[in-house]
Structure 1
Amino acid sequence: MTKSIRVVIIDYPHALQSAVLGFKELFILANKVIVDHNHDMQFVIRIVQPDKMSESVSSSDIVIIPPNLEGSYFKAPSSKLLMFLKDAHRMGAILCSACAGTFILAQTGLLDNRSATTHWQLADEFNEQYPKVSLKVESLLINDGDIISAGGLMSWIDLGLEIVAQFTRPHIMRTLGKYLIVDTGRREQRYYSSFSPKFSHGNEQILQAQHYIQANYNQSLNIVMLAALACMSERTFLRQFTNATTFKPIQYIQRVRVQKACELLESTTQSFEQITLNIGYDDVNSFRKVFIKIIGLSPSAFKARFV
């Protein structure tokens, strides 16, 4: 007897339609690969709109919340949808979200004290709204067993492949990836993110220090200098800078410099050694370690992937 893997895709207002239909088509293609490999299982897909949720939650194994395209529904979803998700989870369904869809999932409360990811540009807003969730935007996908979240707008493909691997066999997923010509290797969202400093925190003294860092990132910078610039003691500056930017000063400076290095790797023919000197580091090996820690790729791997 063929086992049915029952998938519900939530087509909420302003959901990314290419993802809504893309999930369906990905699972249809997965079904063909499954048949070719003589496995007795098939994905059964339903697309459901929040105002038409009459289907029984007990008939779903997977519920997927796609990315958002526009509008603000994902910030204030209907109570009917939230109840559907909680009931489906209680009945054993695995809940999945991609990009801004994680906001909807967070509003159920099911992500409290758990790890999740969303689009890196939404990180500050997400952290403010859902402080109980451990947000890890450096991760493209987090599989936490009964809840799976994916980060970027196109991460729905990674999420779909993860579901295929989990509910069928890893080799089915890899075969499907080859057919789609999609990279099924391990990726991280931090490969693609850009450092966007937070300037709207309202602390003018810290903002002055940030502007100085932005303009003088290639100079020698330290807490003593920056604290004096902000007219604060070092201890007070450290505390207020961290509260305002969510980074310690040294971490912040590192990210500004790594962002500049990424831009130079993409837009110039300078060697990494030249770039290192140009952005204020004397030790190439030391900066290479910082680059790898923040980006997750070596400078040469970064250049090979994006240039």
Structure 2
Amino acid sequence: MTKHVQITIIDYPNALQSAVQGFKELFFLANRIVIESQLEVQFSVKVIQPDIDLDGMCQNDIIILPPNLDGDYYYTPQPKLLQYLNEAHQKGTILCSACAGTFILAKTGLLNNRVATTHWQLADEFHEAFPKVSLEIESLLINDGDIISAGGLMSWIDLGLEIVAQFTKPHVMRTLGKFLIVDTGKREQRYYGSFSPKLNHGNKQILLVQHFIQANYSKTLNVSVLAALACMSERTFLRQFTHATTLKPIQYIQKIRVQKACELLESTTHSFERVALNIGYDDVNSFRKVFIKIIGLSPTAFKERFV
């Protein structure tokens, strides 16, 4: 007997339409591969709009909140939608989100004390809005059982493939990925991210230090020098810098340098050794370890993927 996996896609205001329709087509293609594989499962997909279609909905296996294209609906979703998601979750529905859709999911309170991800550029806003959620922004996708979240704008494809693998067989997902010509191997969102320093915190002394680091990242920098620039004791400087930027000074400097290294690797033909020297590292092996820790790829793998 064929099992029908009931999937509902929430087409909220300004949802990314390529994702809304793309999910339908992805699961349609998955169904064809499932039939060819002689598996007794099929995906049934419906698209609903939260302002008119939430009443009298049947049981779902999965509800998907797609990425956002424009506007700010994901900041203030309708209470009716939040109630719908909560009630569905209580009945055993798996809730899924991609990109800014995770904001809507977090508004339900169901992510409190749970792990999730969203678009890397939205990390600071998400932290401020939902401090009880453990945000793993480097992850492209987090499958936490009853809740699955994906990161970037196009991560809806990764989310769709994850659902296919979970409800069919991994080889169906891989076959679908080959047909779509998309990468089904392990990826992380930090491969694609870039460091955007937090500058709107209101601490003028710390902002002065940040501007100094930006202009002098290739020079020898330490807490003593930076604290003196801010006219603070080292202890006070460490506390205020970490509070304002969410990073310790050494972590902040490393991220600035790695960002500059990525830019040089992408825009020049310089070797990684030369790049490391240009941004202030005499110990190339030490910087390679820092690069891998932050980006998740070796410099060679980074160049192969993006250059």
CA distance in 2, matches of 1:148, 1:87: 17
Cα deviation code 1:126-176 (max 9, x no counterpart): 100000000111000000000000000000000000000011111110010
Whether the aligned pair in 2 keeps the contact of 1:2 and 1:40 (CA below 8 Å) is yes
Whether the aligned pair in 2 keeps the contact of 1:115 and 1:134 (CA below 8 Å) is yes
Q: Which amino acid aligns with 1:278?
A: N
Cα deviation code 1:31-63 (max 9, x no counterpart): 000000000110000101102234545520000
Whether the aligned pair in 1 keeps the contact of 2:54 and 2:81 (CA below 8 Å) is no
* SS state at 1:50 partner: coil
Whether the aligned pair in 1 keeps the contact of 2:142 and 2:149 (CA below 8 Å) is yes
Tell me the residue number matched to 1:89.
Answer: 89
Tell me the residue number matched to 1:196.
Answer: 196
Tell me the residue number matched to 1:129.
Answer: 129
Query: How high is the TM-score relative to the length of structure 1?
Result: 0.99
Tell me the residue number matched to 2:230.
Answer: 230
Tell me the residue number matched to 2:5.
Answer: 5
Tell me the residue number matched to 1:242.
Answer: 242
Tell me the residue number matched to 2:180.
Answer: 180
Describe how 1:7-22 pairs up with structure 2 within 5 A: 7-22=7-22
Tell me the residue number matched to 2:214.
Answer: 214
* SS state at 1:304 partner: helix
Q: Which amino acid aligns with 2:295?
A: I
* SS state at 2:20 partner: helix
Cα RMSD, aligned residues only: 0.8
* SS state at 2:51 partner: helix
Whether the aligned pair in 1 keeps the contact of 2:54 and 2:84 (CA below 8 Å) is no
Q: Which amino acid aligns with 2:167?
A: F
* SS state at 2:273 partner: helix
* SS state at 2:8 partner: strand
How far is 1:216 from its partner?
0.3
* SS state at 1:59 partner: coil
Q: Which amino acid aligns with 1:85?
A: L
Whether the aligned pair in 2 keeps the contact of 1:4 and 1:42 (CA below 8 Å) is yes
Tell me the residue number matched to 1:299.
Answer: 299
CA distance in 1, matches of 2:111, 2:52: 25
Tell me the residue number matched to 1:260.
Answer: 260
Q: Which amino acid aligns with 1:172?
A: V
Cα deviation code 1:98-124 (max 9, x no counterpart): 000000000000000000000000000
Aligned length: 307
**Identity across the alignment (%):** 73
CA distance in 2, matches of 1:105, 1:204: 35
CA distance in 1, matches of 2:57, 2:291: 46
Describe how 1:46-65 pairs up with structure 2 within 5 A: 46-54=46-54, 56-65=56-65
Moved over 3 A (4+): 54-58
How far is 1:238 from its partner?
0.3
CA distance in 2, matches of 1:141, 1:197: 24
Segments of structure 1 that go 5 or more residues without pairing to the other structure are none
* SS state at 1:29 partner: helix
Segments of structure 2 that go 5 or more residues without pairing to the other structure are none
* SS state at 1:194 partner: coil
CA distance in 1, matches of 2:186, 2:172: 16
* SS state at 2:303 partner: helix
CA distance in 2, matches of 1:6, 1:187: 27
Q: Which amino acid aligns with 1:19?
A: A
